[in-house]
Amino acid sequence: MAAGALSALPPSLVRALARDAPTGGLDVVEHVVVFMQENRSFDHYFGRLRGVRGYSDRNAIQLGVNGRSVYHQPDGSGGHVLPYGTDNHHLQGTPHSWSDGHSAWNRGRYDNWVPAKGVHTMCHYDRADLPFYYQLADAFTICDAYHCSAISSTSPNRSFHVTGMIGDEPDGTRAIGNAAYAEDTHAGYSWTTYAERLERAGVPWQVFHEWDNYQNNNLEFFRTFKAVARKALARTTHRSMDSFYTAVRQAGSGAQRNELLATLDRGVATLGAAERSLFDRALRRVRAGGLTASFRDAVADDRLPAVSWLIAPEDQCEHPSSDGPSTGSELVWQVLDALASNRRVWDKTVFLLNYDENDGYFDHVPPPVPPASATGEHVDGVPIGLGPRVPMLVVSPWSRGGNVCSELFDHTSVLRFLEVVTGVRETNISPWRRDLCGDLTSALDTTTTAPYPGFTRPVPTGGTGPAVPSPPDPQVAPVQEPGTKPARKLPYQPNANLSQSKSTGRVTFSMTNRGTRTTHFTVYANAHRTDGPWHHDVTPGATTTDPFNAGAYGGGKYDLSCHGPNGFARRAKGDLNTAGAATEVTADLSTANGGTVTLTFANGGSTPVTFTVHANAYRTDGPWTYTVAPGGTTADTWRAGQYGRRWYDMTVRINTDPGFERTFRGHIENGQHGVTG
């Protein structure tokens, strides 16, 4: 690529990107920098980005309440609201607590966003609004199946991020809200943080934050750190670091500020060595505006620890009530410039940019949730998480090329990645999350290099729209950028087929996992019944069945969809009282010949049946017809690798029953990287 194309990028990063990725795989990673920003959903930021599972998702669920796609969110008055754009970076926030989050989730039906959050839950940005972040996604790796950990607010999600769980409040209730923000009076959380585990293991770590950290350093909420803080603050009138540094920021003069800081230093001098280490790593903050300078100095002096947590001040944290995405992206730009300024550090570093929760902004992909048997994963009968998707960008020498990683992740995945790098295990992570969510290593590729597009330094902007934008009239569905992106290989190989039994009035989904990681399937009723959805975790090599009583709920009619990871879906429609009840269509997937789908057509009736297969995407030929004699079967194979780069999307209908329909959609994994579909 010509040098001019990169002229807007810091020269240090241009030079870093021009080099080949270091060899040696994950063994050469010595530094992980984790920067968690505030309150944005994936669709809100990246729903229009080319190649991700955004606003053109062929696999978007259908809402049972109105028979339309999940993008058509009911407004509570008989109408709907579609996602719509805004260019205002100073939006008013939306409700984002445990209660309204679960109201929008609505037992997994995902159809109550507007009543729960307000109409501007549906607003979003695009490339023109977020040019730097879109360019980062085009250059490095974006994760489009990364979910926040809890269907709740900032504090629970940040606790998951630094501890792997949420435990109890001091009063014994579950810590599902922001009670710890009352730092002066809150007694503190008692479970162990990952920072403490690193400290005990002798692994260096550091929190980089300023006098204003927007109360986003959740380590300050834990008893171990509270005890250190109160000892350091003993010579002051303050009981918490938040109270103290608020006074520092609000000091009437430089002399008053300096006296406060000097008093703190006298208290810190009384700490023992272990306490002093915890204070300096987690609790000491730098002057206003000094975050990037302190980080840059650590990089330049080869003092970057194994694990760094960055916390932005309020005006750069991207919270809707702050100065918005442009100021936050400027901070990210500065951090990346600092990393790339030292080749020795850049060549050993992975930078993770993620967001704690979605605020109240809509995302169209319902999260997997745990079974009732999952220990510690429910409160009052409803799941803690996973929550909605949030952005995650992986920036490193090994994540180049504008890739998409669609493995399921949540905030505990960051800790899992730190486990890989440091060897220090986080035992707080529940078996359910550890089994279902990945460790982020699939977002890295240590075998290839790739060129980079140009970057544009972020320019602070406010936009021109209102802080609470209204949908346009008439409403228009958003258009995602056309095209695909390179896709990371995934550990999934799901399959599902439906069988019918007229005698019992039941239809049954059989869900099979031929992959290497536990796969989450969700079955939705598109019509004829209003309950559900139904969730199933299927371990590698296993099959799970889910029977549905079509006779009791639909008088024999059924319309069910089974969804899985990375665009997998099966839809089955029919009526046990008609001719289609005697037919079956099943799919079998194979990695042979580049990836194939074999459909088997069975006719259990007394007259011939003609099956017709239509391609919904990825190929333009067909349709294909097969006439099957009574009692007979026939099969045919489609080469998804040849026509759809291992993607397939087909619908089967029969001539004897217009209500019979089977749709098969997904991707065949073969251990190789591919493209998004």
Q: What local confidence, expressed as pLDDT, does residue 458 receive?
A: 83
Where do we find the tokens 């030929």? 621
Q: Does domain 28-443 have CATH number 3.40.720.10?
A: yes
Digit-coded pLDDT (tens) for 402-455? 999 999 999 999 999 999 999 999 999 999 999 999 999 999 997 765 555 556
Burial letters for 207-242: b for 16+ Cβ neighbours within 10 Å, e otherwise? bbbbbbbbbbbbbbbbebbbebbeebbeeeebbbbb
**Rounded mean pLDDT, 287-291:** 97
**Rounded mean pLDDT, 366-380:** 98
Per DSSP, the residues of 258-298 read HHHHHHHHHHHTTS-HHHHHHIIIII--BPTT-HHHHHHHH
Digit-coded pLDDT (tens) for 120-135? 999 999 999 999 999 9
Confidence of residue 461 (pLDDT cuts 50, 70, 90): confident
Cα torsion for 445, 450, 453, 456, to the nearest 10°?
50
Average pLDDT, the chain: 95
Write the single-letter amino acid at 459: V
| pLDDT higher than 70, residue 17 | no
Confidence of residue 1 (pLDDT cuts 50, 70, 90): very low
Burial letters for 404-435: b for 16+ Cβ neighbours within 10 Å, e otherwise? bbbbbbbbbbbbbbbbebbebebebbbebbbe
Q: What local confidence, expressed as pLDDT, does residue 33 receive?
A: 99
Alpha-carbon gap, residue 225 to 219, rounded angstroms: 7
> Quick one: DSSP state of residue 498?
E
Residue 202, exposed/middle/buried by CB under 10 A (0-12, 13-18, 19+)?
exposed
Q: What local confidence, expressed as pLDDT, does residue 16 receive?
A: 65
Phi-psi bin for 483: left (phi > 0), alpha (psi -120 to 50), beta?
A: left
Q: Which residues contact 509 (CB under 8 A, 6 or more apart)?
A: 496, 497, 498, 521, 523, 545, 546, 548, 560, 562, 570, 572
> Quick one: DSSP state of residue 133?
H
Confidence of residue 22 (pLDDT cuts 50, 70, 90): confident
**The two three-digit tokens of residue 16, written as one number:** 């870093």
Beta strand 647-654 with 657-667 is antiparallel
* Range name among 40-44, 203-207, 335-339, 358-362 with the lowest pLDDT average: 335-339
Alpha-carbon gap, residue 471 to 121, rounded angstroms: 10
| pLDDT higher than 70, residue 3 | no
Q: What local confidence, expressed as pLDDT, does residue 9 receive?
A: 52
Digit-coded pLDDT (tens) for 54-66? 999 999 999 997 8
Q: What local confidence, expressed as pLDDT, does residue 14 receive?
A: 57
Which residue would you say has higher pLDDT here, 71 or 4? 71
Domain ranges of the chain: 28-443, 489-671
Q: What local confidence, expressed as pLDDT, does residue 6 receive?
A: 37
| pLDDT higher than 50, residue 485 | yes
Confidence of residue 8 (pLDDT cuts 50, 70, 90): very low
Burial letters for 331-361: b for 16+ Cβ neighbours within 10 Å, e otherwise? bbbbbbbbbbbbeebbbbbbbbbbbbbbbbb
Q: What local confidence, expressed as pLDDT, does residue 21 receive?
A: 74
**The two three-digit tokens of residue 121, written as one number:** 């839950």
The pTM for the full model equals: 0.97
Q: What local confidence, expressed as pLDDT, does residue 453 receive?
A: 55
Digit-coded pLDDT (tens) for 546-570? 999 999 999 999 999 999 999 999 9
Phi-psi bin for 555: left (phi > 0), alpha (psi -120 to 50), beta?
A: left
Q: Before 204, cis peptide (omega within 30)?
A: no
Confidence of residue 7 (pLDDT cuts 50, 70, 90): very low
Element (H, E) at 161: helix 154-163
Confidence of residue 2 (pLDDT cuts 50, 70, 90): very low
Q: What local confidence, expressed as pLDDT, does residue 23 receive?
A: 73
Digit-coded pLDDT (tens) for 228-245? 999 999 999 999 999 999
